Structure 1
């Protein structure tokens, strides 16, 4: 067999595993495999617990014709000690355990997960996840994000109206609390540069964050009092593929490493906030996106039969998005000090200005969450 291996993986030793995957792709069809290619997939920064993501592809010969195939191989690994805790937001084995369960089968609405072919434990302690290579496109228009928000509402509402909440011990139950704790741990250490801040707007952002987080534990516990839903919690645009079938669009959600039981609205807040941070959703249009996405999210929930208080979902949505500031305000402070020392650096100027706009958005959403809390004892 001819193998073009453009990686350091010992892929030539994995032909038996590859055949297992191909049998799941082609079913009872008789085929021959003569050659294939393995190469890295993408060049984005990887999660702490991801060693690499790879693309295997080729064609099999069947009845004198060649049938193409394509597989994604994700290699996950242990990391720091806290990520061995099943309740850590980034528990390293969660996606492998999820692949071995049936929790991603028969998702509501027009949502699906990639087809899982094989979970393979390695002698070095890593785990190889063999899965479908999904062909689709990423969201880049407001209408596409509205479609995603609608499907996300259906997914979340399924666990309030029709389906029992899964109770597996490896599903995170306090995702945002774990994430904010880790963000504060890994954010730039502000003690070394706060005294050197010169930008008054940045100083104000830091002071605002201190007020926001003075009762952080209470805010996080208020989310735990919201109606509980199953949540993806990692809906950056690269984890959401819109796939065209013969007559409709379908949403394929990738990378379920952060799967959690969360408060209603949290998943949407993460999706909205992270895509603004990535500049996929234009921060200058945040109000239009913020309200439109929430409207479509609630529409999806109503279609699944949820008739609860919309303000509960709005509170989870706003607070989840606002609490991203525990990571982004320290980033702003750090970059602002760097810019003071290199004032002609255009890339730094643009990054600082973008972060200022994001934090102003987070301030507005935090203020709305506080107003909603004052209106109701439920939070």
Structure 2
């Protein structure tokens, strides 16, 4: 809970008079950049308070960084709101919550007071709504090619983010890890071979992603960061914003819909195909006239982002399974079955990327060379 006197003083400035009530909101508690997220009510008004910090202890790669180009730069989200960048995609039906106030506190933290957005949360959306979001995203990103440059944009996000997720990597080649009941009973046949291959080809995939056409990217697009409000899709958590490949955000959004049990894995092939076509339609609507094969390559090669997830699941197959934010448990069997199917789908994306790249002038991956 934030310091009460300070919070009440800020709430009076932002929301006016009234009894202050505070409700903690779900977020990633491991991230050293986020001191906390709360809904604050004063009288009949409310706002969301997100406190950014570099003073919170965090383990491993979740530690806050002072490097403006690092993927976890502690002050980036404040820059996004204060600069007006969060409004860039609004003409295309995607916007951030309105910034009500940005307060630099005496201890160095930054309190972002944001619009409390009502409406249907992304995890409850229909497939049609997710697909429509893909179209809007395509229009927004097509208009942003090659993308504005800001000194605080994240760069080489995939490389740094994946590189920090190392838990369980030594298990990828261990028979016992793949024979754990949750893994053995719920992962599809052949998944081990494909995920080990993806891991061995990691550098090739990262080189591809870093060589493709660039655009302004959110880099944390998933249903839990979205809410439908009137004509807009409101997008939260802009902390990773920066330079990304055209199609990279879509390549994150689609599998994440399944990994966190928002969309059934059995529907992923049809969902991904429709969303990709919608994204292309949005690109063309924006006036973009590039080579769509490069976009397809970015979407498929973005499978590398989840190289770390297979190892993590091998490492945690004997543990209780918690949902995002750690507030409750989920069915271990359901999680492993759904994620196993989604990882198999990503293996198909990876295979498609390996086939697409050489005709477009990229070298063949090491695992495909003779």
- SS of 1:33's equivalent? coil
CA deviations over 1:304-350 (Å, ceiling 9, x no partner) = 10011111111111111x213312211332345679xxxxxx93333
Distance 2:340 2:172 in 1: 21
Distance 2:214 2:333 in 1: 41
Give the equivalent residue in structure 2 for 1:27: none
Distance 1:239 1:376 in 2: 34
Q: Higher strand proportion, which one?
A: 1
Unaligned runs of 5+ in 1: 1-7, 23-31, 60-67, 340-345
- SS of 1:148's equivalent? helix
Contact 1:240 1:252 in 2 (8 A): yes
Count of residues in correspondence between the two structures: 339
Contact 1:46 1:52 in 2 (8 A): no
Give the equivalent residue in structure 1 for 2:79: 97
Aligned pair in 2 of structure 1 residues 189, 89: CA closer, same or farther (>3 Å)? same
Give the equivalent residue in structure 2 for 1:158: 143
Give the equivalent residue in structure 1 for 2:130: 145
Unaligned runs of 5+ in 2: 321-329, 364-370
Aligned pair in 2 of structure 1 residues 115, 46: CA closer, same or farther (>3 Å)? farther
Give the equivalent residue in structure 1 for 2:101: 118
Distance 2:48 2:331 in 1: 34
Q: Give me the TM-score of the superposition, normalised by structure 2.
A: 0.83
The alpha-carbon deviation at position 300 of structure 1 amounts to: 0.9
Q: Give me the TM-score of the superposition, normalised by structure 1.
A: 0.81
Matches within 5 A, 1:1-379: 8-22=1-15, 33-42=17-26, 45=29, 47-59=31-43, 68-78=44-54, 83-107=65-89, 108-139=91-122, 140-160=125-145, 165-184=147-166, 187-188=167-168, 190-191=170-171, 194-197=174-177, 198=179, 199=184, 204-244=190-230, 249-320=231-302, 322-336=303-317, 347-377=331-361
Structure 1 vs Structure 2 CA RMSD: 2.7
Aligned pair in 2 of structure 1 residues 338, 54: CA closer, same or farther (>3 Å)? closer
The answer to which structure, 1 or 2, has the higher relative contact order (CA under 8 A, 6+ apart) is: 2
The alpha-carbon deviation at position 232 of structure 1 amounts to: 0.7
Distance 2:188 2:128 in 1: 34
Aligned pair in 2 of structure 1 residues 296, 191: CA closer, same or farther (>3 Å)? closer
- SS of 2:69's equivalent? coil
Distance 1:254 1:337 in 2: 33
The alpha-carbon deviation at position 83 of structure 1 amounts to: 2.5
The alpha-carbon deviation at position 181 of structure 1 amounts to: 0.7
